[in-house]
């Protein structure tokens, strides 16, 4: 089950975080954490759906973005980033770097 959440910023915009299964079957033990900066939650999900991630939904606020994640997405020019995360919920000591969403979609198409 994919977890996700959101955080409303002081200017009224939101940062939405979603944990999704990895789109390729290369490593089934890892999923992806996607962060989207948008005007509102609906627009954030629309941005993902327009990129081809059709079955993304945000139900509840079980895994909202952390302050570090919010900073990362706010400093990215596209406002849409991802990184691999273990599906077992165990956080590694050296987390993977954030990447632009284009690199995820390129990897899924290859």
By CB neighbour count within 10 A (0-12 exposed, 13-18 middle, 19+ buried), where does 73 fall? buried
pLDDT score, position 110 = 44
Residue 15 near residue 36, CB atoms below 8 Å: yes
Both tokens of residue 19? 């944990």
Residue ranges covered by each domain of the chain: 4-104
Tens of each residue's pLDDT in the chain, 110 residues? 467 899 999 999 999 999 887 665 556 667 888 999 999 999 999 998 998 888 888 888 988 999 999 999 999 999 999 988 765 555 555 567 888 888 877 655 44
Minimal CA–CA distance to 97: which of 69, 77, 70? 69
């Amino acid at each position: 089950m994919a977890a996700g959440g959101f955080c409303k910023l002081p200017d009224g915009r939101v940062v939405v975080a979603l944990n999704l299964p990895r789109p390729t079957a290369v490593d089934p033990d890892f999923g992806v954490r996607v962060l989207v900066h948008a005007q509102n939650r609906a627009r954030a999900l629309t941005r993902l759906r327009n990129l081809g991630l059709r079955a993304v939904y945000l139900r509840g606020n079980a895994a909202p973005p952390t302050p570090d994640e919010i900073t990362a997405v706010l400093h990215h020019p596209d406002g849409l980033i991802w990184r691999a995360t273990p599906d077992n919920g165990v956080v590694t000591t050296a987390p993977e770097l954030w990447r632009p969403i284009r690199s995820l979609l390129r990897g899924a198409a290859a």
